[in-house]
Structure 1
C-alpha cells in the first residue's frame, strides 16, 4: 500500500506551532546613501595621513624568509647609522583597526559596563563597518556589542554603528596604506575628528534594543509561541487498484 498526496484534491485543516526567541536580533541603524558617502569621505580624509606615513616610512613586508635573509645580510650595528623615523600621525593612537582589535575593545567595554565604577577604557565614538546593513553574519554581533559597551560610560553619547557603502573597504585600505581592512573604531578625542563625530551623532540614530532593559533588571521574557492555522492535502492510500481516502 502506497501513500500519495493530491495537490488538487480535498484538504484538511492543520494547526502549526512555531517557537520563537523573545530576544530577536538587533537591527542595524538605517543610514541614507548620501549620509554614508559623506561619512566615507570624512573618514577617508581622517585616515589618509596614516597611509602617507606608511608610504614614506614603512617598508612593506615581503614575508618571513625575506626578513630573515635581510637580517643575515645586514652589516653590524657599528657600521650602520640608523635614520630615525618621524613620529606616527596622532590619529593612530585613537583607532582600532580590524575585526579582532575592534571586537576586543567592544567586549572589554561590555564587560566594564557590569561594574558600578566608571570605566577608564577609552570610549568608542563610532564603529565603521564596510558591509551592507546586517548582511554579513560575521558582523552580526556588533549592534548588541555597541549597545552594551555604551553602558560602560553612560555620561557619554552612545557608540554609533555605521555601515559604509560598497567599495568602502578598498578605499579605506588605500587610505591606511594596507591591502585589506575590517571594521574601524574611532575613539573619543581623536584629533581632527570633530566634523566626522558631529555628523555621525547628528545623522545616525543610537541602536535600539527593547528587550535589553528587561535583562538588566533580571526579568526573563517568555518564549514566543506562534500558532498558524493552515490546511494540508488529504493523504490518499492506493491499494490493489483502488483509492482509499485517509482522514489522518
Structure 2
C-alpha cells in the first residue's frame, strides 16, 4: 500500500480501504481546552488592619512558671479566707466566727465577668471622647493594671480573643498601659486550688497592692505591652478622628469557565418530576365514576 502511513491513512488524511483506524479529531472537552476558556473577574482586596488585633504578648515558659508560682504565694492568704468561709457556711452561723476579709480582695478581680466589666469601664473614657469629641473628666475609680489569663485552659477561644484589644483600650495612657499576661496550660487548676474557687482562669490586679510589688516589677521587666498599631492615636486627646477609611480596591484577574456541577442533577430531577405518579393500592381499588 504505497502512499499510506502507519496509521492507515493516505496522504490526504483519508482512511485507506481495509483500515479501521479513524482520522484524529481535535479534543473539545479536555482539561486543557477548559483551561483555555477563561473569563475576566474582579476580586476585592481589602487592606484590613484588624487582622492582627488578637496578638498576645509572648511569655517564655520559665517566666510563665515563675509568674504562676508568685500568684499562688500572693493569693494564698485569700485562699485560706475562702476556705474558712466555706467551712463556716456548712456549720451553724453562730458556731464559728469568720476571720476579717483580706484587704487584697478589694483590689483584685476574679473571673471573667468582674474583670471584663472593670476593663470596659476603663475603656469607656476613650469611647466617650471619640463619640462626643469631649474629654470626660470623672472620678478615677478602680484601675486594673495587670491582667492574668489562663488562655489555654479557657474554651472556646472566643472568650479570650478580645482581651488584647480590650486591655489596650482600657489603658489610661501610652506610659501606663494595662499589662496582659497569658498563663500556661494547667494554671487554672493550680489557681483554683490555691483560692478554693472553681474555674479561676482570669485575674485582675490594681498596681498599688503591696504584697504583689515584686511580681509587678518582674512582669514589667519580662512582658511587653500589648501592641495594636491601628489604635496608636487613641491616647492623643487632640486626635478625635484618627480612624482611616478602609483601603478597598479590586484586582483584575481571570477564572476558568467550568461546567455547572448541578446540570446533571437538575436534568435528572426534571425527568423524575415529569414522570406520572405510580398507581397505589388505594387508587387501584377506586372505581371510575359512572
Q: Report TM bin, short chain.
A: 0.7 to 0.9
Match of 1:36 among 64, 76, 82: 64
Q: Distance in 2 between matches of 1:107 and 1:155?
A: 18
Deviation at 1:110, TM superposition (A): 0.9
Q: Distance in 1 between matches of 2:183 and 2:30?
A: 50
Residue equivalent to 1:199 = 218
**Where has structure 1 moved over 6 Å in runs of 4 or more?**
none
Residue equivalent to 1:50 = 78
Q: Distance in 1 between matches of 2:60 and 2:153?
A: 11
Residue equivalent to 1:186 = 205
Equivalent residues of 1:53, 1:89 under 8 A apart: yes
Correspondence 1:173 to 2:192: yes
Structure 1 unaligned regions, length at least 5: 63-69, 75-79, 238-248
Higher relative contact order (CA 8 A, sep 6+): 1
Q: What RMSD, in angstroms, separates the aligned Cα atoms of the two structures?
A: 3.4
Q: 1:55 to 1:226 in 2, by over 3 A?
A: same
Deviation at 1:173, TM superposition (A): 0.7
Count, aligned residues? 218
Structure 2 unaligned regions, length at least 5: 1-28, 130-134, 261-290
TM-score in terms of structure 1 length: 0.73
TM-score in terms of structure 2 length: 0.64
Q: Distance in 1 between matches of 2:30 and 2:67?
A: 57
Equivalent residues of 2:153, 2:186 under 8 A apart: no
DSSP 3-state at the match of 1:185:
strand
Match of 2:247 among 224, 229, 234: 224
Residue equivalent to 2:113 = 100
Equivalent residues of 1:22, 1:221 under 8 A apart: no
Q: 1:37 to 1:236 in 2, by over 3 A?
A: same
DSSP 3-state at the match of 1:166:
coil
Q: Distance in 2 between matches of 1:14 and 1:156?
A: 48
Residue equivalent to 1:125 = 145
